[in-house]
Chains A and B, each alone.
Chain A
């Protein structure tokens, strides 16, 4: 499995993967729906899958001494790793922003602030993307567009819901918004819920993808 993961990192990662990781700095943009940062992470997965197809990576990998079901698992583990990095980077950038900017500038007026809740929201978005995209992609690895478009629409609907929640519910607009040092317990709960959703959805996505890929004829 380790060799497969190394192979993925050497041959299958599109350069945009690293460019989009740097988009974590968008948390410094005032009044911006920061959840969009996580969409860029999904976009880099799409580009990597395109590259996988153009490189004939899957047929090549299938001839290597690996079990067929390990192939989607390795690809998804690499993506999960990258998703964890973007969540971590957003957290770090948010913390830096909180430390150096005054509260008026830290407070986000168009969505949730760059705090722990944003990471929780991002985790939910990424978990839903994983569940929507990968099982569909590994059913027909040559068809990348349809699974991505469907997942992208769902992601943007969810981002819209998060923005609406920020405006219509006091929980989101006041309790969960703002600095991590305020209402820390509530923010931690939101983060844990988000991560739990991410873990469950990603695990289900893995299971389904491995099952679907077993039936694929290359």
Chain B
């Protein structure tokens, strides 16, 4: 059973459209939701959580979100980028207001997380560092036994060490507790470490939704001396770089000359696919 299934999620704004986004998060998997700023990652997450009125169908562990909203929300833990709520309140005050909503709230588990994350409940939210805020949000989400974590850029604003620590915690949770995770980020190095699957969104549309390894195997990064070589090799999203030109190759590397082939990263795939996508749009509009 899939932990999360999103079918044809659509939201139309005057300047942006989330266009029939469909993907799923497998149980016990970490799915990375990637895309550039403004691609629609946060809108997708808001649509899933029904923070915005979007068309489409969302189900969590087989339960339809709209029909069984309360039961579904019990299974979800939402972690935004830091904990931006109630800056003047203490963690204890927030926990006292939050915990009664969850019959499955486990106080000893919460206290265990507080001690593991070195959080002090008498502190106010504004006194926490960005990393601590994310950990507090995580402690709240996990203490009510969330089976699906939905995280909207939780690592943006964190230093590399804190990000590393955060990723370790998520990995541990998935391995030991079987939690499923949808992790939106534009810091792709985090996903290279922990993600099983990738959902790549660009300009409100899904460009790829597949296992990370499949995505990385599908593309190779090629460096060419001239633009003509790149065009002849049918490279995708060719752009000028320091020593010539660079583009993605997809299943067309056999017998290729005049090119240096290296493994693609999520970053390089995003950069070149975005460029190709943009050029395609320009071509259409012209």
Chain B hits for A60, CB < 8 A = 85-86
Contact with A along B2-34 (1 / 0, CB 8 A): 000000000000000000000000000000000
Q: How far is the CA of A215 from the CA of B11 in the complex (A)?
A: 13
A215:B53 contact, CB within 8 angstroms: yes
A3 (CB) vs chain B CBs: closest residue: B100
Contact A56 B85 (CB under 8 A): yes
Other-chain residue from A3, A6, A62, A215 in contact with B51 (beta carbon distance below 8 A): A62
Q: Tell yes or no: B262 within 8 A of A by CB.
A: no
Question: With A and B bound together, what is the CA distance between A65 and B77 in angstroms?
Answer: 10
Instruction: Please name the residue on chain A nearest to B13 by beta carbon.
Output: A217
Contact check, A66 vs B70: say whether CB atoms are below 8 A apart: yes
Contact B97 A11 (CB under 8 A): yes
CA distance A6 to B76 in the complex (A): 22
Closest approach, in angstroms, between the C-beta of B134 and any C-beta of chain A?
15
B85:A218 contact, CB within 8 angstroms: no
- A64-B98 contact given A10-B93, A11-B93, A55-B87, CB 8 Å threshold: yes
Q: A67 and B89 in contact (CB under 8 A), knowing A3-B100, A62-B51, A215-B53?
A: no
In the complex, how many angstroms separate the beta carbon of A1 from the nearest chain B beta carbon? 11
A181 within 8 A of B: no
B260 nearest CB across to chain A (Å):
47
Chain B interface residue count, CB cutoff 8 Å, equals 26
Report yes or no: A63 in contact with B101, Cβ–Cβ below 8 A: no
Q: Which chain A residues lie closer than 8 Å to B70 at the CB level?
A: 65-67
Find out whether the CB atom of A67 lies under 8 angstroms from the CB atom of B69.
Answer: yes
Which residues in chain A, 7-57, are within 8 Å of chain B measured between CB atoms?
7, 10-11, 54-57
Tell me if A218 and B46 are in contact (CB < 8 A): yes
Whether B175 is near chain A, meaning CB under 8 Å from some CB there, is: no
Check: B84 CB closer than 8 A to any chain A CB: yes
Contact of A65 among B46, B89, B101 (CB under 8 A): B101
- Known A-B contacts A11-B97, A65-B73; A56 and B84 likewise in contact (beta carbons under 8 Å): yes
Q: What are some 14 contacts across the A-B interface (CB < 8 A)?
A: A10-B96, A10-B97, A55-B89, A56-B85, A60-B85, A62-B49, A62-B51, A63-B73, A63-B76, A63-B78, A64-B101, A65-B73, A66-B70, A215-B53
Q: Which 4 A-B pairs have the closest CB atoms?
A: A65-B73, A217-B52, A7-B97, A218-B51
